[in-house]
Amino acid sequence: MGGLNLAVNCAGVGWPKRLVGKDGPMPGEFFRKVIEINFVGTLLVCKAAAAAMQKNAPNAEGERGAIVMTASVAAFDGQVGQAAYSASKGGVAQLTKALANEWAPHGVNVNAIAPGYVKTPLNRHIWR
């Protein structure tokens, strides 16, 4: 299709689990899985997208492409039972700042949105 101009990172999981709850401590594997999906997955998409975008010819403003990250209000306002999710989305928010600075000279824009709570099947536990 002539190159990649836009990448949107919007996949993620947000299963609720307290770090130490009535069932004991959160298993490390649970925390790692949330980080792997929400943070590492986002990083890998960014890396591949930026590599492709840097091959694009710049437009009149010097832009080669844009990457949109999906952080979350939880990155800034951690909720009970959301330590893993909040940490992963906080990582996305900070990754956005670092990559925006790193890739701006190459014409790749990186920005994030931080949506609030949206009623979806994934977070139906919040709306009971």
Instruction: Output helix, strand, coil percentages for the chain, rounded to the nearest 5.
Output: 45, 15, 40
Q: Specify whether 85 is catalytic.
A: yes
Identified catalytic residue from 85, 86, 95, 103: 85
Say how far apart CA 80 and CA 124 lie, in whole Å. Answer: 16
Instruction: Fill in the amino acid letter for 81.
Output: G
User: Exposed, middle or buried: residue 75 (CB in 10 Å: 0-12, 13-18, 19+)?
Assistant: buried
Q: Which residues are catalytic?
A: 85
